[in-house]
Amino acid sequence: MDSNRYRVCVVGLGSMGMGAARSCIAAGLATYGIDLNPAACQALREAGAEDGGADGLAFAGDLDAVLLLVVNAAQCRDALFGPRGIAPKLRPGAGVMVSSTISAADSRALAAELQAMGLLMLDAPVSGGAAKAGAGEMTVMAAGPRAAFDRLRPVLDAVAGKVYEVGEEIGLGATVKIVHQLLAGVHIAAGAEAMALAARAGIPLDTMYEVVTHAAGNSWMFENRMKHVVDGDYTPHSAVDIFVKDLRLVTETALSLNFPLPLASTAYAMFANASNAGFGREDDAAVIKTFAGIDLPGVRRG
């Protein structure tokens, strides 16, 4: 083993995590992966990773850094401190980059436990989707001590097109991501409502999509997600249930600040309704399926 080579493990090999791990490989980092899905671990090994499996106990002691891209705070905690958690096996001074979308309070709690173990944490949520992750061009909203930034710089350089250093206070990165998710969720919900209205009015959805994406009403989320509606393809690159979770974080953050969010609250209700209707594991564009009285490409109404 080349002891001078920077070694990083990506925990969570979903669409974002797999892309980030491949970007680390492309950047020349010795890359490992952890995921409960054996096929994902095998795919990463075939892409050039050093190793991968359901836990990192075999290689944790060799790591310089860990990048967490799991779904929520509970999964972060389990990956770090659970029965097969990686944190106790890491060398003091190793960096942990928490890039899942979690609350500021959860971020602070994780950081306190990691600090007590002699580990450095960066509160560093990401955005950009699977394509940006695979290209090493994610946007990172990071907060933490300078030592954590320095320790994790090779990972940041590998996975990010832009790193925003929000500050040294853990939780600031999480909060910036939560505000961002307010916009992302509202844009998807508004896009779905607009396309549903077009369908009701008898406007061909491919025409409506072309008009909006070449006019002032466009947004990145509309352009990306409403294409799925036009194609009738709800393969979950980012599922409805992800935005149920994220918009819940948005509304809980607002409640803690006694601050009203009428649009975000409505968007949360729309995604929760879609999840309850059975679309939770479909692409988040499936929020449009909750509108009654319209015909959608590829969707058969019961």
CB atoms within 10 A of CB 223: 15
The per-residue pLDDT for 2 is 62
Residues 6+ apart with CB under 8 A from 273: 290
Give me the mean pLDDT over the 38-54 stretch.
Answer: 97
Distances (CA, A) of 26 to 12, 51, 55, 136, 251: 18, 15, 23, 9, 38
Pairing of strands 95-98, 120-123: parallel
Q: Is the pLDDT of residue 258 over 80?
A: yes
Burial per residue of 277-292, b for 16 or more beta-carbon CB atoms within 10 angstroms, e otherwise: eebbebbbbbbbbbbe
**Could you give the residue ranges of the DSSP H alpha helices within 160-295?**
172-200, 205-213, 220-231, 240-256, 262-274
Whether residue 89 lies in the annotated active site:
no
Task: Let me know if 51 is exposed, middle or buried by CB neighbors in 10 A (0-12, 13-18, 19+).
Answer: middle
CA 66/CA 91 separation, integer angstroms: 11
Check: CB of residue 267 under 8 Å from CB of residue 189. Answer: yes
The per-residue pLDDT for 125 is 98
Q: Is the pLDDT of residue 1 over 60?
A: no
The per-residue pLDDT for 300 is 83
All structural domains of the chain, each given as residue ranges with its CATH number in brackets, are 7-168 (3.40.50.720), 175-290 (1.10.1040.10)
Question: DSSP label at 88?
Answer: G
pLDDT tens profile 272-295: 999 999 999 999 999 999 999 999
The per-residue pLDDT for 3 is 64
pLDDT tens profile 63-112: 999 999 999 999 999 999 999 999 999 999 999 999 999 999 999 999 99
User: Among 132, 177, 245, 289, which one carries the catalytic annotation?
Assistant: 177
